[in-house]
Amino acid sequence: MAEFQTHEHDVIVIGAGGAGLRAAIEASSAGVSVGLICKSLLGKAHTVMAEGGMAAAMANVDDRDSWKVHFADTMRGGQYLNNWRMAELHAQQAPDRVRELEAWGAVFDRTKDGKILQRNFGGHRYPRLAHVGDRTGLEMIRTLQDHGIHQGITVYMEHTVAGLLKDGNRVSGAIGYDREKGVLRVFRAKAVVLATGGVGRAFKITSNSWEYTGDGHSLAYEAGADLVDMEFVQFHPTGMVWPPSVRGILVTEGVRGEGGVLRNKDGKRFMFDDIPDNYKPQTADNPEEGWRYTQGDKSARRPPELLTRDHVARCINREVKAGRGSPHGGVFLDIAWIKEKISNAPEHIKKLPSMYHQFKQLADLDITTTPMEVGPTTHYIMGGVKVDGETQMSTVPGLFAAGEVAGGLHGANRLGGNSLSDLLVFGKLAGEHAAKYAKANGAGQVHQDQVDAAAKALLAPFERGANAESPYKVQYDLQDNMQALVGIVRKEDEMLKALDVIEGLKKRAGTVGVAGNREYNPGWHTAFDLGNLLTCAEAIARAAVARKESRGGHFREDFPNKDEKGFGTFNHVIRKGPDGKMQLVQVPLTPMPQHLKDAIEQEKK
Amino acid sequence: MSKATFSVWRGDKSGGKLVDYTTEVSEGMVVLDAVHQIQAESANDMAVRWNCKAGKCGSCSAEINGMPKLMCMTRLNTLDLSKPVTIEPMRAFPSIRDLVTDVSWNFRVKKTIKKFKPRKPDAPDGTWRVQNEDIERPQEMRKCIECFLCQDVCHVLRDHQKHEEFIGPRFLVYTAALEMNPIDDDDRVDDLKFKHNIGFCNITKCCTKVCPEHITITDNAIIPLKERVVDRHYDPLKKLLKVFGPK
């Protein structure tokens, strides 16, 4: 039997990005003991990468905005598969969460009258994103971190959670290990909050960091929880494409919000050619009007570059496939052109300082004079752990989820800016209800057989040793497979092939070995990550095969249209069947109350 | 495609040595790409800390050819590849393994600094009114990604090992951001002098030089803080007033 150390908390939060930190702060303020488990160092989570801002209908810039408009925008972006209760709570509570962040020390950009400034973003009707230049995520995580360290939370840095422990139906803790020493650790807890983010590392081209291996999705699945909407993966339209080593790194939508335009190799603004009908009334039909919109003219409609991410990504894909792309297989994103319009263009562009430096340092390119080359990159998964809209509890009692790992809020496609506000709103709710659950239910039993089984699986790669297959090789093969066969444009036969490949990779993942010892061993971690990546990859592919229509982030070449009467009426739910195999079921959408239907109708006008 | 050699420090707190690895390099590669490639090809267990690979998280700090840098933002075409490129961990912190160091001291130090305390809100809805001009400085300080390269290069920490007495440039920047925040209401000037020993800094500006976020640490954070300390504790007129002035 493996040796391990035991820790005990009322609530453990797995993941320390925006959602995890916010959940930990809330649970702690409810008076329970909280353990916060970070995969990396505190403050390094993927939230730091968020650039554009957090969406909240504060109406500081345009007083026509309200939570109802934000709600309607979110539902339309999600193509109405969203959990409407989550979309409602999100739109209602986001302004308070942003203001609270300021009361904890965040320093937002300001309007002329000294309020928090808000910027335009794709799919949002009014300027709605509270921001700090193009480093809003850093501001958010640092504010939560600096506030959180004074709240009596126990932080476990560089710890990885390998499995959830259960007592009957309910959750009773987790098992994992610390990276520095490789010591196995058991966390006994009355409630567990998953805040582990997404699964971009299942794809080859991604804006996501190494941590994004679908840990929470997989932990929840193995613990018997339902996953929802897993077919919906967001490919952000603008990632860097050159040089090769930076392929996938995000170029914020803020560039387009500030006046940047997309052109093909012939210099044509191709986005004007393909504006979906349901967005036509609100989209500019000429460059002049689009420009005025980015400069704050309230009578102008938004340029087509600011249509939803799924649509822009597909348009770019189409240009590249038609041979109208840039030299390195992307298209041009041009912000330098605004010098034709304003005299202080370089200063204006440097309102996006991170982008300026990113291109200057990594691509040797000055964005104030030269267009960038950009192309789609795997960015976000809308699908995730199915939760109750009010409490964020999953279908497993005592197990909560918030942020990207949770599904529901974004439906088939997430609007930019709705992620950071998601982290705050639902991080808070998850923390609050996890604390409540812990107080009401006490501790469950930790069963030794579960601990031993998890420990054995975790240590198995060492038994197989360095001569077995390298975990890196299996990971690369999975990434190639998902990128090529379950990517931005999908087809039945390709995805069925992908599922075959995944079966083969699962077998290989069981044979990988690692060299060295348990102390800070990245090879070991990669071996462990494989299981999570493969579970998520299979869930994505299965749900994508089953959804025989195109909607939001999910585009089927063989079924290019939306099917409102059929697939528009239910979500796909994935769970582990009694035979240990992955099961997929259709769950009808819950009928929406009249006042929310009215809010949506109002905004269609 | 050409090849280059990287001398990577392998070891732990009991000691270690530079080990040479040769790998293919291509256009646009950064040092972190080379390390990952070596890790995948021939050293699966080589320890390296990284996250975002875009200069935003501040995890992959190291000393490249002796210069403190982020591995993810150091392009190979800025280095002389005709001889081996040395990659070593930050030397101001204890080794964990290979390129990974124990930076936990930084997290303990931050807790000793008085946290943000907002003044009374300006508007009835509990919000504040602040002008952009008034937040330029704190925003500059808040660009910090906590890579700790400034701590690594600070001679008070690196050479004199004053970790127990001096908080280092990172936390002077942190304190400056709080002190300059127009919404914050607390006072950290006495702490700077007595508890955090700002006087140890003799403004050699090494920290400013290595900051990947180009924060003007010395000029915009440390010197203004030193001035506040001097104003309160070393102003001769005020001192006289204290001694002879009205009680």
Contact (CB<8Å) A146/B30: no
pLDDT per residue as tens digits for the range B46-71: 999 999 998 999 999 999 999 999 99
* CB-side neighbour CA atoms (13 Å) of B39: 23
Give Cβ neighbours of residue A110 (< 8 Å, ≥ 6 apart).
A116, A117, B130, B131, B132, B135
- Whether B95 and B142 map to the same domain: the answer is no
Contact B181 A107 (CB under 8 A): yes
In a 10 Å sphere around its CB, with 0-12 CB exposed, 13-18 middle and 19+ buried, how is residue A388 labelled?
Answer: middle
Write down the pLDDT at residue A194: 98
Rounded CA-CA distance A248/A234 in Å is: 13
Which class in CATH covers the domain with range A235-378? Answer: alpha beta
Token pair listed for A523: 């090879």
Give per-residue pLDDT as tens, A62-87. 999 999 999 999 999 999 999 999 99
Q: How far is B45 from chain A (nearest CA, A)?
A: 5
Pair (B120, B31) in one structural domain = no
Q: Is residue B55 part of a domain?
A: yes
Tokens in use for A454?
Answer: 């998890």
By mean pLDDT, which of A114-118, A349-353, A412-416, B94-98 is the weakest? A349-353
Q: How far is A466 from chain B (nearest CA, A)?
A: 9
DSSP label at residue A390: T
Helix (H, G, I), strand (E, B) or coil at A43: coil
Buried b (16+ CB within 10 A) or exposed e, A190-217: bbbbbbbbbbbbbbbbbbbbbbbbbbbb
Average pLDDT estimate for B201-213: 96
pLDDT at B119 (0 to 100):
97
Residue B73 belongs to some domain of the structure:
yes
Q: Is cis: bond before A243, omega within 30 of 0?
A: yes
Residues of B in contact with A40 (CB under 8 A): 49, 51, 57, 59
- pLDDT tens sequence across A284-332: 999 999 999 999 898 999 999 999 888 999 999 999 999 999 999 999 9
List, as one string, the DSSP characters of A472-519.
Answer: HHHHHHHHHHHHHHSSSSB-HHHHHHHHHHHHHHHHHHTTB---S-ST
More confident residue, A357 or B57: B57
Q: A278: pLDDT confidence band, cut at 50, 70 and 90?
A: confident
Instruction: Give pLDDT, residue B244.
Output: 78
A70 catalytically annotated: no
Reported pTM:
0.95
Judged against a pLDDT cut of 90, whether residue A387 lies above it is answered with yes
Pairs across A and B, CB distance < 8 A: 174
pLDDT value at residue A207: 92
Establish if B243 belongs to a structural domain.
no
Judge: A358–B55 Cβ closer than 8 Å, yes or no.
yes
Whether A155 has a pLDDT exceeding 70, the answer reads yes
- Interchain CB distance below 8 Å, B75 and A362: yes
Q: Are residues B15 and B113 in the same domain?
A: no
With a cut of 70, say whether residue B247 has pLDDT above it.
no
For residue A453, the surrounding DSSP H or E stretch is helix A448-464
If asked whether residues B39 and B160 sit together in one domain, one would say: no
**Helical ranges in A336-397 per DSSP H:** 345-349, 353-363
The mean per-residue pLDDT over the stretch A472-479 comes to: 96
Residue B232 and residue B138 share a domain: yes
> What domain range is B142 assigned to?
104-237
Q: Find which of A185-189, A240-244, A248-252 is predicted with most confidence, using mean pLDDT.
A: A185-189
Which of B1, B56, B116 should one mutate to test binding to chain A, selecting the residue with the greatest count of A CBs within 10 A? B56
**Residue B83 has what pLDDT?**
96
Residues 6+ apart with CB under 8 A from A529: A201, A213, A215, A471, A475
What burial letters (b/e) apply to A294-309, b meaning 16+ CB within 10 Å?
Answer: beeeeebbbbbbbbbb
Per-residue model confidence (pLDDT) at position A11: 98
What pLDDT was estimated at residue A308?
Answer: 87
B42 lies in the same domain as B153: no
pLDDT-derived band at A446, boundaries 50, 70, 90: very high
Q: Is the pLDDT of residue A350 over 90?
A: no
Q: CA B25 to CA B34: how far, in whole Å?
A: 7
The pLDDT tens digits for A28-75 are 999 999 999 999 999 999 999 998 899 999 999 999 999 999 999 999
**% residues pLDDT > 70 (chain A):** 100
**Confidence (pLDDT) at B137:** 95
Let me know if residue B115 belongs to a domain: yes
* Domain extent listing, chain A: 235-378
Terminal-to-terminal C-alpha distance of chain A: 66
pLDDT of residue A418: 97
Q: Is residue B156 one of the residues assigned to a domain?
A: yes
Helices (H), A33-135: 67-77, 84-103
Distance from CA of B211 to the nearest CA of A (A): 13
What pLDDT shows up at residue A259? Answer: 92
Mean pLDDT for chain A overall: 95
Q: Does residue A2 surpass a pLDDT of 80?
A: no
Contact B51 A44 (CB under 8 A): yes
Instruction: Answer for the pair A438, A405: CB distance below 8 angstroms, yes or no.
Output: no
Which chain B residues have a beta carbon less than 8 Å from that of A472? 39-40, 44
What's the one-letter identity of residue A323?
Answer: G
pLDDT at A1 over 60: no
Same domain, yes or no: B139 and B214: yes
Q: What is the pLDDT of residue A134?
A: 87
- Euclidean distance between CA atoms B247 and B241, whole angstroms: 9
Same domain, B152 and B233: yes
Two structure tokens written together for A135: 């480093």
Count the domains in chain B: 2
Q: Is the dihedral of CA A312, A314, A318, A321 positive or negative?
A: positive
Under the banding of pLDDT at 50, 70 and 90, the label for residue A347 is confident
Separation CA A54–CA A100 (nearest Å): 13
Residues B174 and B112 in one domain: yes
Assigned domain for B118 exists: yes
Residue A373 confidence (pLDDT) above 60 = yes
Q: What is the DSSP string of chain B?
A: -EEEEEEEEEEETTEEEEEEEEEEE-TT-BHHHHHHHHHHHT-TT-----S-SSSSS---EEEETTEEEEGGG-BGGGS-TTSPEEEE--TTS-EEETTEE--HHHHHHHHTSPPP-B---SSTTS-----HHHHHHHHHHTT-----HHHHH-HHHHTT--TTT--HHHHHHHHHHHHT-TTB----HHHHHHTS-GGG-----HHHHH-TT---IIIIIIHHHHHHHHHHHT-HHHHHHHHHS--
Which CATH number is B67's domain given? 3.10.20.30
Q: Of B101, B134, B169, which residue sits at a domain end?
A: B101
Last residue of a domain, one of B86, B101, B116: B101
- Are A231 and A383 in contact, with CB atoms under 8 Å apart? yes
pLDDT band, very low/low/confident/very high, at B236 (cuts 50, 70, 90)? confident
Q: Is residue B146 predicted with pLDDT exceeding 90? A: yes
Residues listed for chain A = 605
SS3 of residue A159 by DSSP: strand
Residue A379 a catalytic site member? no
For residue A115, which residues of chain B lie inside 8 Å, CB to CB? 127, 129
Question: Domain boundary at B101, B133, B155, which?
Answer: B101
Catalytic annotation, pick one of A22, A135, A185, A256: A256
- Do residues B119 and B211 share a domain? yes
> Are B147 and B70 in a shared domain?
no
Arithmetic mean of pLDDT, A397-401 = 98
Nearest alpha carbon to residue A179 among A468, A521, A535, A581:
A521
Angstroms from B160 CA to nearest CA on chain A: 26
Pair A227, A221: CB distance under 8 Å: yes
Tell me the average pLDDT of chain B.
95
Give the pLDDT mean for B229-240.
Answer: 86
Query: What is residue A570's predicted lDDT score, i.e. its pLDDT?
Result: 98
Q: Is A32 within 8 Å of A10 (Cβ atoms)?
A: yes
Instruction: Categorize the per-residue pLDDT at A349 as very low, low, confident or very high, splitting at 50, 70 and 90.
Output: confident
**Across residues A112-117, what is the average pLDDT?**
97
The pLDDT of residue B88 is 98
Mark out the alpha helices in A401-447 (DSSP H runs).
418-441
Identify any residues that bridge with A381 across adjacent strands, giving them in sequence order. A233
Among A44, A112, A113, A205, most B C-beta atoms within 10 A, so best to mutate, is A44
Q: What is the CATH number of the domain that holds B146?
A: 1.10.1060.10
Residue B145 domain-assigned (yes or no): yes
Q: What is the pLDDT of residue B1?
A: 67
What value, to the nearest 5°, has the Cα angle with vertex A598 and ends A596 and A604? Answer: 110
Helix (H, G, I), strand (E, B) or coil at A600: helix
> Residues B65, B149: one domain?
no
Residue type, A76: R
- Residue B211 phi/psi, 5° resolution? -65, 115
Interface contact flag, A44 B40, Cβ < 8 Å: no
Q: How confident is the model at residue B235 (pLDDT cuts 50, 70, 90)?
A: confident
